[in-house]
A and B are shown apart, each in its own frame.
Chain A
């Protein structure tokens, strides 16, 4: 068989595999999206119609989440809205990310240039990730209950900061490592003090790295489930927790359920698409670079 037919076969095979796979992969997301836009009659499939494609689209489900009203209110004792968890997620993720970024970037620079913390510091941080969160949560819980930090903003922010530190350091260190040390030395020869080298010379160079790390850690904070589950209960629970909490409350209200899911998932999806290029670096702690 010659090269030309070989190429054609490969092309056919490729699309034959990719298209079904993509459909299967995207189906759950698609379904959740469309269900969140469906009116109540269409929420569940009937024997004759799997209702994969909605016939009517409405934003009622979303509105419902923000202010329960009308017919649906009589279906469920649903008194809570989505304002609180949404705001909480935003506030907590945002602040923790910023804080972790500040502390972590400084530390990462020190590790990158001066091997601060020892040769194995990066490896030690990896070990941190190895422990099941539940094992870490217990002592934190003990500490927090003593400090009366449970269900507080500062408690959660500190928690998220600490937990994501390894990621920040790994990511930022890999970005710093990408910049040759010659630049540091050139700057110092030009008369800069070490702090100036860091703040005025190197930091601007890693700006894209900082942006990527910010988005990545934001996703990590936003996705946290166990932490918020244990450490919050009434005032500061986040969107993922809301999902779990409202499971029972919603009962069979698939529409609003789907809408909640969409709200919880969309920000991270969008961010994820944006930082696609850096995902490999992030997930492998900078060990593998593309």
Chain B
């Protein structure tokens, strides 16, 4: 009887602990002061370059600018995975904006 009771308590306690340590461990991994990975830093730098170029050419899309802002916020939080993800969007959208200035004019007159 006692065995069953103890087993159930241990099980409950174990599940409870698992529930809280998961996210805490994950956050600790990020907040441990680990700087951005080299890959993330490079991705961010590329995105900043392309967005700057699009801005100079007056072809910057709001989607590129927005994604870069999100990448920079992620960089402040040392979230390398998010930096890479948002930088990729920013770079791609900035590149498309630059390419757009080569599209033919509409209703050519």
Tell me, yes or no, whether A binds B: no
